[in-house]
């Protein structure tokens, strides 16, 4: 049976993510099973919280290798929020190594007058890879919802799919490389724009699970 796996490691807002996927037209399966992640047609990695506990929870469940294998297999993969950050080598938020799938580091916003940290609320994307599947059928510079104090800083600029500006700082808001897409914002909290993104993600899946 075909399905989309939503990875459960006790650090994701699984309910709202799954509700978003259901509204977009598919029935997700919450799982912490390496076998089910391997069998899934697509994988979604959510996450909220701090960097170190996130990777500790993930590794304690033996999910690091299944996630890496899923990405290497070429199946559609979407990371959300902390599910983006842990794909990188390390974070200024903690000491644990990340998954090292995308070279780079997670950095904290610099304090400056007239900006809030965490960056919380709506902000406008600048799409730097406009042909990415996730952006199809969206208006130019769409507004999406953020809650974060840290942002990813990839070594290779070409993986950046979108940026945002917060105060004087322009930072990466999304990445894309082959079958891998990951975003710092929350599509499931981003109204019709976020719903369209989730619909775009599931559009590449077999029709029998996108119905």
Where in the chain are the domains? 4-202
Q: Running along the chain, 211 residues long, what does each successive block of 10 average in pLDDT?
A: 85 85 90 95 92 95 97 97 97 97 98 93 97 95 97 97 97 98 97 96 73 47
188 in catalytic set:
yes
pLDDT at 207: 64
112 in catalytic set:
no
Please say whether the structural domain 4-202 has been given the CATH code 3.40.50.880.
yes
18 in catalytic set:
no
Rounded to two decimals, what is the model's pTM?
Answer: 0.94
Count of Cβ atoms closer than 10 Å to residue 63 Cβ: 22
| Catalytic residue, candidates 18, 57, 64, 81 | 81
């Amino acid at each position: 049976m075909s399905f989309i796996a939503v990875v459960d490691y006790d650090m994701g807002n699984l309910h709202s993510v799954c509700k978003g996927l259901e509204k977009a037209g598919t029935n997700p399966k919450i799982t912490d099973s390496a076998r089910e992640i391997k069998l899934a047609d697509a994988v979604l990695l959510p996450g909220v919280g701090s960097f170190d506990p996130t990777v500790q929870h993930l590794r304690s469940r033996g999910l690091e290798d299944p996630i890496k294998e899923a990405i290497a297999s070429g199946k559609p993969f979407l990371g959300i929020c902390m599910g983006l950050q842990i794909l990188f080598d390390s974070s200024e938020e903690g000491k644990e190594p990340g998954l090292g799938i995308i070279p780079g580091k997670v950095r904290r916003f610099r304090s400056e007058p007239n900006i809030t940290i965490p960056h919380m609320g709506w902000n406008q994307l600048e799409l730097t890879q406009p042909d990415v599947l996730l952006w199809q059928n969206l208006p130019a510079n769409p507004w999406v919802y953020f809650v974060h104090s840290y942002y990813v800083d990839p070594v290779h600029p070409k993986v950046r799919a979108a940026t945002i500006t917060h105060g004087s700082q322009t930072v990466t808001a999304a990445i894309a490389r082959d079958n891998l897409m990951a975003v710092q914002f929350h599509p499931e909290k981003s109204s019709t724009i976020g719903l369209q993104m989730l619909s775009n993600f599931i559009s590449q899946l077999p029709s029998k699970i996108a119905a």
